[in-house]
A = this chain, B = another copy of it.
């Protein structure tokens, strides 16, 4: 019978020791699985622990050991399905390793992205996994330090840490090549950007251009549409703009799945068939992509692999007591073929 005296939660190691008629060391040893102990002692301790509903105080342990058992995950917006799915997997991977995850949502705010290192600086958390979206080329220094850190996603700076991401240039290249192979010649890119700092926008743009060039198709800038907010509305508007400009693409590569959903919606409203008149490919392979109308062909970013690698890396650093050397690790990507653009 456990007495959950959670709130008033008195019982301390001393109480247990007193109740069991042993010393605190003995209880501590018992708790950490120290083997050389009389069975009768073990039983007494176990009984005392149960009766008192003893639960170790994390703060005291942390103060002593320097470990909180917590990780910080910093993303820009959990409402973006990609991040929600990534978070879900990171929580699962961390849980498996007996770590908890504190989530910081920075809402596309550079200062808050930088500020997310605070939780580890204050030792509230043992390490940081971050995916900044608004930091500039000069911001690398913000991450200088020796605390455990893993960086996720394309960045305009060279992070002084382990950096995990898919090869966005190659991924966009592959997706574009797929459309070309399916006989598309007027391929639009929704969400790409021609200039600005290195980001998903620019790298996916580069892959797109590369693939076109390799196929001998000239890059037409009217086909490239920047979109600020990568959501369905942005995708729909981009299609409208495209058609308003008299452009009739036969293939569309959207920089994420939400954009692709909006693209498909607008194409349908214009009376176009997918993939008959226009093929559509997205990016991220979020859960909803399977259920879209039609189901969406998309680039899988192996969020699961990223999650596991990120958690392994940061915990490895925690256990090693020092940051991993700077390095870039590309995780594999793949195209998931569905109805919006079947494999050619």
Rounded to whole angstroms, the CA-CA distance of A95 and B57 in the bound complex is: 24
Q: Kindly state whether residue A60 has any CB partner on chain B within 8 Å.
A: yes
List the B residue with the shortest CB-CB distance to A234: B291
* B56→A261 contact, CB < 8 A: no
- How many copies altogether? 2
Contact with B along A111-144 (1 / 0, CB 8 A): 0000001011111100000000000000000001
- Contact (Cβ within 8 A) A57 B122: yes
Q: A68-B59, A81-B81, A101-B102 are in contact. Are A123 and B9 (CB under 8 A)?
A: yes
Chain B residue, CB-CB nearest to A323: B7
Decide yes or no: A291 and B104 within 8 Å by CB, A9-B121, A81-B81 being known contacts.
no
Chain A, interface size: which category?
35 or more
Closest 7 CB pairs of A and B: A7-B146, A232-B291, A59-B62, A84-B84, A6-B145, A7-B147, A58-B124
Write 20 A-B pairs (CB below 8 A) sorted by A numbering.
A4-B144, A6-B145, A7-B323, A8-B146, A9-B123, A55-B123, A58-B122, A59-B66, A70-B124, A78-B91, A79-B84, A79-B88, A92-B105, A103-B103, A232-B288, A236-B291, A265-B291, A265-B292, A269-B293, A293-B293
